[in-house]
Structure 1
């Protein structure tokens, strides 16, 4: 059976001598695996279409367990921006989220549109951390993890939402915050920022235009949101742990450099014989 799908390449693995195992996220069939025969050969007509983050139309044959790629018409995303280590980091994190939070062969047009739009945002040079924030907010909400942005997680009221508390699963109102202060980390959010977060979650991906947020507001949300993911999402994302470890190594290296340059270390002093 011949199948025509619109999809995005989210993983590529070598297979046999010259084939490739490709994972596509598609609008019509969800996340599917396929074999690209001869795709690793230098002159293969399929080689360009089976690279990571290729977006376009794929014509497949349905096999017993995997699809088989026959033809494709695609374009490359993030062709130049992946040289930026920060773009590379966010891209790898987004790809792992898609791989580990989606089910095989379950059609989900909303999710597909969101993922495609997120990578298009990166490709078009929109603010990196804003794109990462939007990606997480919509993914978490759509997959049923939350957090709650429009109602107090304690009393259920939708008015006067004051603070985001990861341990309690979302926002709490001013009354609950005043009478029963949480014992955990509390992040106070401006009302305007809360409204913007609510609109991001409510708006369909194809209708969500450019979102402008101050860098300090993005950072204000990203930190507690990462803690929320750690507490409430039953998946440990390896990419984030790797990058976190790399950041720690970079900080240690910088501290070591400063220590060596400090007065009295003998680093810059001449030898005396």
Structure 2
């Protein structure tokens, strides 16, 4: 079957001496694994389209197994993401999330829109850490792990300084906080942003200024939930940690 799709390259790997296998997350069909024959050859007409983050139109022949690329036209190569180490690292983490947490041929046009908006946002100098946190929340919700952030997950109270209990799947009020000594006490700004992240449309993300203490809490919360519920190792996130360790962010 022949597919003409709009897609973004979320993974690219060498195959044999001259070929590549890419994953393309498409608006119409979800994730598609595609063989690109001769992509590593110097004169290949498909070499550029196999680069990570490439957004364009793809014509793919798909049988019961892997697809084969017939033609492609690049809409945006997102070269800024490859030229800037920090932007590229955050973008790589975002496409890795989509690559690992979605199934083959499972259409999800809204997720495609958020992925595209995330890459455009990072390339356009919007805060990459905030965009990454919003995508993390989207992927948690998509996977069925919507945290309870509107009231205490134990008693239903909405009063007092809340703490996020990752184990309990939501916030705890001051009276119930002892049920999870590992709970992360949240500032009002942190809780407000976490609530916002659940439904934030990245296409409408405006200017946002986050205090360092709030950013630290957000990172701890999102990291904890991703580690608890996704149970996977993130190659790109490890690289981000190395950048932070050596003051490269």
TM-score w.r.t. length of structure 1: 0.79
- The 1:170/1:78 distance shift into structure 2, 3 A limit, reads farther
- Unmatched 5+ residue regions in structure 1? 252-273
Distance in 2 between residues matched to 1:142 and 1:104, nearest whole Å = 15
Kept in 2, the 8 Å contact 1:130–1:213? The answer is no
Following TM superposition, by how much is the alpha carbon of 1:239 offset from its aligned partner in structure 2, in angstroms?
3.3
Partner of 1:23: 23
Can you give the 5+ residue segments of structure 2 that lack an aligned partner in the other structure? none
Q: Which is further off, 141-150 or 95-104?
A: 141-150
> For residues 169-224 of structure 1, what are the alpha-carbon distances to aligned partners after superposition, in whole Å with 9 as ceiling and x for unaligned?
222234534xx46311422221x542333233124444x33251314222221123
Whether contact under 8 Å (1:29, 1:107) holds in the other structure is: yes
Give the number of equivalent residue pairs: 246
Whole-angstrom distance in 1 between the partners of 2:130 and 2:244: 20
Higher relative contact order (CA 8 A, sep 6+): 2
Partner SS for 1:59:
strand
Dislocated runs of 4+, deviation >6 Å: none
State whether structure 2 residue 89 is matched by structure 1 residue 89: yes
- Conserved? CA contact 2:131–2:202, under 8 Å: no
Over alpha carbons, which structure has the higher Rg?
A: 1
- Secondary structure at the counterpart of residue 71 of structure 2: strand
State the match for 1:194 in structure 2: 191
| 1:37 alignment counterpart | 37
Structure 1 residues 53, 174: closer, same or farther in 2, change over 3 A?
same
Contact 1:164–1:189, Cα closer than 8 Å, also in 2:
no
Over 3 Å counting, the alpha-carbon distance change for 1:200 and 1:183 in structure 2 is: closer
Aligned-residue RMSD, C-alpha = 2.5
Match of 2:210 in 1: 214
Q: 1:109 to 1:157 in 2, by over 3 A?
A: farther
- Tell me if structure 1 keeps the 8 A contact 2:3–2:62: yes
Contact kept? 2:6, 2:56, Cα under 8 Å: yes
TM normalised by structure 2 equals 0.86
CA distance in 2, matches of 1:205, 1:159: 30
